């Protein structure tokens, strides 16, 4: 199966300190691929490189066999690459409805936007219950559901998730993990999942890459990595 998204020998640095040191990875159609590692390992830097939020210094990033490094974030959204950032980044004084509709900024067909909204509310019934409520009054888990729903409003082919379990109650972490699996399956969305909760990430992903200080140290099938002693010693943390 050919790669939908790939990084080839990507290097990226902040103020002459390398955050990524020749990273190569790929994401295939319909896959969930996890990026795991400690704080500062380079996981979020990979997402920033893909989305154009930070320019790479060398290497290349391809989507559907075309180079995308150098494109603006809004151009990437129109191509189908959508990111859910760490920390949720909601519009707290706006309603849940308006927060969700912000995800459809690049779309024009009102009928299709309405259909997408109905699918998001069916997938996350809590959002339907709080549809007119100010987003800032919801719990952290509910806000995380909302920002994932907002990303789905853009009709992504590739969904980039940055620490979706961060600061979320354990029961809602399970709900969000299940939603990631069903979104990938039902919507045919490929997911690149950045997580410190490595156990949860490995349980729901097909393949995984383990990073240490900007380099990929281990990679393979997630099921195998769950049993790998090196992963157990270094990375496994958190409960899903």
Mean pLDDT of 86-114: 89
- Across the range 36-55, mean pLDDT stands at 90
The mean-pLDDT minimum among 81-90, 119-128, 228-237 falls in: 228-237
Query: Tens digit of pLDDT for each residue in 80-93?
Result: 999 998 866 888 89
The residue that leads in pLDDT, 161 or 239, is: 161
DSSP string computed for 10-79: EEEEETTEEEEEEEEEEEETT-EEEEE-STTSSHHHHHHHHTTSS--SEEEEEETTEE-TT--HHHHHHH
pLDDT tens, residue by residue, 110-122: 999 999 999 999 9
pLDDT for residue 142 is more than 60: yes
Alpha helices in the chain (DSSP H): 43-50, 73-79, 96-102, 110-123, 125-129, 140-152, 170-187, 198-204, 222-226, 229-234
Q: What's the pLDDT at 240?
A: 41
Superfamily of domain 3-89+156-234: P-loop containing nucleotide triphosphate hydrolases (3.40.50.300)
Q: State the average pLDDT for the chain.
A: 90
């Amino acid at each position: 199966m050919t790669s939908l998204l790939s990084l080839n020998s990507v290097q990226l640095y902040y103020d002459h300190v390398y955050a990524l040191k020749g990273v190569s990875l790929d994401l295939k159609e319909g896959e969930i691929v996890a990026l795991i590692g400690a704080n500062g390992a380079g996981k979020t830097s990979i997402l920033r490189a893909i989305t154009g939020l930070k320019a790479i210094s060398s290497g290349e990033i391809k989507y559907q066999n075309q180079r995308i490094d150098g494109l603006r974030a809004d151009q990437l959204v129109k191509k189908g690459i959508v990111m859910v950032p760490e920390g949720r980044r909601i519009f707290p004084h706006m309603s849940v409805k308006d927060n969700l509709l912000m995800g459809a900024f690049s779309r024009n067909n009102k009928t299709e936007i309405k259909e997408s909204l109905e699918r998001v509310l069916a997938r996350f019934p809590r959002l339907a219950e709080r549809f007119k409520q100010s987003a800032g009054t919801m719990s952290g888990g509910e806000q995380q559901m909302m920002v994932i729903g907002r990303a789905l409003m853009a009709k992504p082919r590739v969904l980039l998730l940055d620490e979706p379990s961060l600061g979320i109650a354990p029961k809602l972490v399970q709900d969000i993990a299940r939603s990631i699996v069903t979104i990938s399956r039902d919507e045919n969305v490929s997911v690149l999942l950045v997580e410190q909760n490595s156990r949860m990430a490995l349980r729901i992903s097909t393949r995984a890459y383990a990073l240490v200080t900007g380099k990929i140290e281990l990679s393979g099938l997630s099921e195998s990595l769950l049993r790998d002693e090196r992963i157990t010693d270094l990375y496994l943390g958190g409960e899903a």
